[in-house]
């Protein structure tokens, strides 16, 4: 469990309504995910964990409506601390879209799922023009990248030093096969930029979903901590996607806590909350 009275924050949760939106993912074959997930389901799933603040991260590319839907949910559910939404960074009307979304205090930043795009998407001039708008407005950008994207990610984090970036899911290393080559070096390079943070999230689904253990995750967590330090790492459950690895919310929370068993209480409090408050500039519930 996270200690003390510091705010506790889960920086990576998804909600969805299969009737309301047309999702490219999840798909019907993913049985643990093929149902609606609402804030009430999340609260039940969190159980007795000490987490009191949740950040929603977009599921739909090409829909600001999903973002607006969850911004409205934040108004009704105090434990929803903010939204990392989707915008079309290449849209000539991006400025007005950001103006509209920014009328909500819960709009924190943007993510774009790169799996649907060419590997060099981040290098496009129109995309970088959009990133510049985020930087000028003090918004954040979640980097959902894999090893093959490292060189492009390095280019943009260097070009926008005042834009706060966070790498989702440790850049999705191949934990199942224990592969660190390429990933290890790339994460070290990205960590050299002080505007880049990393979410300790999404690990159980990159491990063997049927028989993952804490020891499978530990070397990857330790490497990220060595690179980014305790001040630039954040907890994320990736709920409900973690259900694909037969993991419930408390198991995911506890797995990271065990991986941090060599950390001080103060370092754990930073990873489980304080760093997220600083990065996303959110107001939090402490109890």
Query: What residue ranges define each of the domains in the chain, with the CATH number in brackets?
Result: 9-280 (3.20.20.140)
3-30 as b/e: b if 16+ CB within 10 A:
eeebbbbbbbbbbbeeeeeebeebeeee
Peptide bond into 107 cis (omega under 30): no
Residue range 26-37, pLDDT digits in tens: 999 999 999 999
pTM: 0.96
What pLDDT is attached to residue 5? 66
Please tell me the predicted confidence (pLDDT) of residue 2: 42
CB neighbourhood size of 88 (10 A): 18
Structure tokens that stand for 251 in this block: 């198991």
Give the chain's residues under pLDDT 70: 1-5, 286-287
Q: Which of 51, 47, 9 is nearest to 233 (CA)?
A: 9
**How many Cβ atoms sit within 10 Å of the Cβ of residue 65?**
12
Backbone angles phi, psi at 84, to 5 degrees: -100, 105
């Amino acid at each position: 469990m996270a200690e003390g009275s510091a705010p506790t924050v889960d920086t990576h949760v998804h909600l969805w309504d299969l009737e309301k939106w047309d999702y490219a993912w999840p798909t019907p074959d993913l049985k643990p995910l093929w149902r609606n997930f609402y804030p009430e389901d999340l609260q039940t799933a969190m159980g007795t964990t000490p987490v009191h603040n949740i950040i929603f991260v977009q599921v739909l590319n090409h829909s600001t409506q999903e973002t607006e839907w969850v911004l409205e949910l934040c108004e009704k559910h105090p434990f929803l601390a903010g939204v990392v939404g989707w915008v079309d960074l290449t849209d000539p009307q991006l400025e007005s879209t950001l103006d509209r979304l920014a009328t909500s205090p819960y709009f924190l930043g943007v993510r774009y799922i790169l799996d649907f795009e060419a590997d060099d998407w981040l290098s496009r001039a129109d995309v970088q023009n959009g990133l510049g708008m985020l930087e000028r407005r003090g918004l954040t950008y979640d980097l959902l990248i894999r090893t093959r994207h490292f060189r492009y990610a390095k280019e943009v984090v260097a070009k926008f030093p005042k834009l706060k970036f966070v790498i989702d899911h440790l850049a999705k290393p191949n934990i199942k096969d224990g592969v660190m080559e390429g990933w290890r070096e790339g994460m070290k390079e990205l960590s050299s930029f002080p505007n880049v943070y990393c979410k300790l999230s999404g690990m159980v689904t990159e491990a063997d979903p049927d028989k993952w253990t804490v020891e499978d995750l530990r070397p990857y967590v330790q490497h990220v901590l060595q690179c980014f330090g305790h001040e630039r790492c954040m907890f994320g459950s990736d709920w409900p996607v973690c259900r694909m690895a037969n993991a419930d919310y408390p198991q995911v929370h506890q797995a990271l806590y065990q991986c941090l068993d060599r950390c001080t209480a103060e370092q754990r409090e930073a990873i489980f909350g304080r760093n997220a408050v600083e990065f996303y500039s959110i107001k939090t519930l402490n109890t």
